[in-house]
A and B are shown apart, each in its own frame.
Chain A
Amino acid sequence: MFVLIISSFIVGMLIGLFFKIRFFKKINLLTWITLALLFSMGLEIGSSDELFEQLPEIGTTGLLIAVFAIAGSVFFTWSFELILKRKGNR
């Protein structure tokens, strides 16, 4: 599974590097596949009573991850910026 997905990504990237393909963008294929897959993720959640009851937990855990991931990113890059500035002033 992992190999299949990684190789489709890499093959796509190589094709994109050598041939500029704008065709997919024009028909918005990406959006439609994405919508279909997200819809089926929703279907899976809705059809399972267990998953459906877990929705509140999904929401709060999602919020926690969002807040702390942002906090971590900001903290790391802010420190990087301060270090760069200090170097520049010297």
Chain B
Amino acid sequence: MIQMVIAVICGIVIGRFMRIEIPDWIFTTLLMFLVFVVGIDVGSEEKILSRIKSNLIKIFVQTLLTIAGSFFGAIFVSFVTPLTMKESVGAAAGLGWYSLSGIMIANLYSPFLGAISFTSNVLRELLSIFIIPILSRKTPYGAISSAGATAMDTLLGLISRYTSKEDTLLAFGQGVIITAFVPLLISFIFS
């Protein structure tokens, strides 16, 4: 995560001193390629997906509620900030996947909202690191949902330490499904 944050900060600092204009088609091509490679990664997880089939309904409900809950929270934010409902829901649709959501929104919509989405999803992961150990005592499902898409990679280790084996599987499944959904949700919201 640190290298991603540093990349953004370096860009901001260098952009302050040099006005560099990068043509849009380069962004679009890179973005398409990025989404393509992400697709290959998700598709290659099929074996693991079939392993979690036994709990599929529970995992699906958990995932849908995580997404719906995030949107619900974002709708509330749109009432107290200048953002429109579409903008705040779109920013929250990264579900913890800050790099992809920031990039996609900056390209599809505006760099301003892209930066908001990046920040909010970096913070989502950071806050989750702190609340998962506490929340998992009361509600393992709630703890897992706060991690969003990162439940399958960066926060999986943390989750497995604080929840049961079965719940760790739930976390992994949630992460995989959300990861597949984030590019679709964002392009759908901003198309």
Residues of A within 8 A of B (CB): 1-2, 4-6, 8-18, 20-22, 24-25, 29-31, 33-48, 51-52, 54-55, 58-59, 61-78, 80-81, 84
Contact = CB atoms under 8 A, between A and B. Distances in A.
A15 B39 contact: yes
A33 B18 CA distance: 22
Interface residues of B, number: 99
Contacts of A54: 112
A11 B142 contact: no
A29 to B, nearest CB: 6
B7 A38 contact: yes
9 contacts: A9-B184, A14-B39, A58-B115, A61-B116, A65-B73, A66-B124, A68-B76, A68-B77, A77-B144
A27 B132 CA distance: 32
Secondary structure call for the A interface? helix
Nearest to A83: B61
B46 A17 contact: yes
A45 B115 contact: yes
Contact of A72 (B15, B27, B72, B100): B72
B7 A76 contact: no
Contacts of A8: 32-33, 35-36, 39
B127 A66 contact: yes
Given A5-B183, A61-B119, A74-B69, 20 more contacts: A24-B41, A30-B41, A36-B30, A38-B11, A42-B11, A43-B12, A43-B15, A45-B111, A58-B115, A61-B83, A62-B116, A64-B80, A64-B81, A65-B73, A70-B124, A71-B73, A72-B68, A72-B70, A76-B68, A77-B65
Interface in B82-113: 83, 88, 91-92, 95, 99-100, 102-104, 106, 108, 111-112
A75 B65 CA distance: 9
